[in-house]
Amino acid sequence: MASSSIKAISTTSPFTASSSPSSQPPSSSKSSLLSFLHTSSSNPISLKLSHAHSHAHNSHSHSFLITNVLKTADSCETSVSKSENLKPTSSDSTPTILVSEKLGEAGLQVLRGFGNLECAYNLSPEELCAKISTCDALIVRSGTKVTRQVFEAAKGRLKVVGRAGVGIDNVDLQAATEFGCLVVNAPTANTVAAGEHGIALLTAMSRNVAQADASIKAGKWLRNKYVGVSLVGKTLAVMGFGKVGSEVARRAKGLGMNVISHDPYAPADRARAVGVDLVSFEQAIATADFISLHMPLTPATSKVFNDETFAKMKKGVRIINVARGGVIDEDALVRALDSGVVAQAALDVFTEEPPPKDSKLVQHENVTLTPHLGASTKEAQEGVAIEIAEAVVGALKGELSATAVNAPMVPPEVLSELSPYVVLAEKLGKLAVQLVAGGSGITSVRVVYKSARDPDDLDTRLLRAMITKGIIEPISASFINLVNADFVAKQKGLRISEERVAVDSSPEFPVDSIQVQISNVESKFASSVSESGSISIEGKVKYGEPHLTCLGSFGVDVSLEGNLILCRQVDQPGMIGRVGNILGNDNVNVSFMSVGRTVQKKALMAIGVDEEPNKRTLEKIGKVPDIEEFVFLNL
């Protein structure tokens, strides 16, 4: 017997039931091509994964299909309701992409090659709302505010918002998530440019370059006035050790500076690899000679540098900000400059852009300013344009994005491994919700991921999201995808917990199996295949395809694709023939058949059929002697 060890995931999510949100996405959005869920006029929803599964058990490239299921769970025990054919808004037409701020020509060329491109700059909020209902994608920089009103005005058509750059504080992520709109950014192309600009401001400030330049142009020669400070041996605190922060740290180390950093989410080993010590926020601001800001603007970081913070700093500290203006209380910074607590500041970003001309901060002699130039190099502008264009096009084509902001972000190499398990996860969710139709529904789900690898190395965020989507989609009136599945689950009071279990199997693959356990099952069929009021559904990936391997107390081997009839019956000769004859006589083609048995002389027969049998055919199956319960499923 395989040995196993269990490790519970620390982020179990207890969802509490609540009323629907005040601004629920319209039900018509069910027909939209949202995010990376792609439909055609009569085909199943298709989830194309940008990295094909390339393991030994699946050597050829795949586009994994995720079939549609019932819009709402049918209370009939035979579940004979037809699945809906979704009608996309533009399945046979070219998508429209709106670019509301200037984008590099290389990126525009990518967009022109894929869809109808419309460039409309300097739009007022009202003008943007008027245009957005005809657009499938929107690309912005930092100047356009993508508010809840924009998503409401889109009427379910907007599938992806692309932010040409890193920061996404000008996009209402909560509204985007509720409306199932994917938000992607371009986090890598301008990283070096922003890091270089941070160093440029650091050196220019320390040597008074801007002030000395202005002095000479005014006809003065004030060498003694503009004596600077050296960087060698000084301590630089990098506040935020992400992509840009780490670039600044590397370059500062090259200048002979001692670099420390505060970032509660940065791995210590990544910082150590650059020669940087991670310290507390308090220690960083108290010991630094220079402080460089590289943190996002969030409710927690808004005006985090204020009177109280400045009072804890070393007198004469110098501050650089190429991140977000809102992280500094600008009035407090002026007071700190006037008192000498802050000797100098170099700023590329501001709370209001452009800042007021009469701002005391702008006019302060000890402040060096640039007009948000962090990403403004020719190379970065072209790189950002291409990166965001490719991300938006990929999303519209149905590909998972590694730069998604409001969906599980999975590195490409991990996504490549997980791709077939992503499909398995959703299939298990869809199977679960249909099995309990007619009972009290699903309120609590436990998911167990079995793997031969270290449980801490298994990233289950995407798998969890797909299971949630599979469960929620059939019982929701609004469109569900990976973006909003978790949000809608919370609204419906669905509680999901997870465990990772280490088992003796091949470590070549990230997951051995996924098990979905549902408690307090009341539907007749689900109860008939379980023993304790709970039902367990387990699946594996075989030859690159999702398979059901265990249902309750029955071991089976069933392909999780298309239409499926499950019969709980007495284990005796002739049962397969009886059901097969009914299907054949009614012109229903059987694609496969599998039987699992127990020692109690009970059997579970699984029959795959090419088309959905009509109600009369299903009723005939239900009347076969010794078939105790059965259910029809659309996967």
Residues with a known catalytic role: 324, 353, 372
Distance CA 188, CA 166 (A): 8
| Cross-strand bridge partners of residue 596 | 604
CB atoms within 10 A of CB 573: 6
What DSSP string runs through 364-396?
-TTEEE-SS-TT-SHHHHHHHHHHHHHHHHHHH
Sign of the CA dihedral running 192, 195, 199, 204:
positive
The widest CA-to-CA distance across the chain, in whole angstroms, is: 106
Q: Residue 507, class by beta-carbon neighbours within 10 Å (0-12 exposed, 13-18 middle, 19+ buried)?
A: exposed
Q: Residue 121, class by beta-carbon neighbours within 10 Å (0-12 exposed, 13-18 middle, 19+ buried)?
A: exposed
Q: List the strands of the sheet with 563-570, edge to edge.
A: 590-597, 602-609, 563-570, 627-634
Please list the alpha-helical segments (H only) found in 207-274. 209-217, 243-254, 268-273
Residue 328 DSSP symbol: B
Q: Residue 353, class by beta-carbon neighbours within 10 Å (0-12 exposed, 13-18 middle, 19+ buried)?
A: exposed
| 247: CB partners within 8 A, 6+ apart | 191, 192, 194, 195, 196, 198
* Beta strand segments in 28-181, E: 96-99, 116-119, 137-140, 160-163
- Closest by Cα among 42, 141, 5, 54 to 456: 5
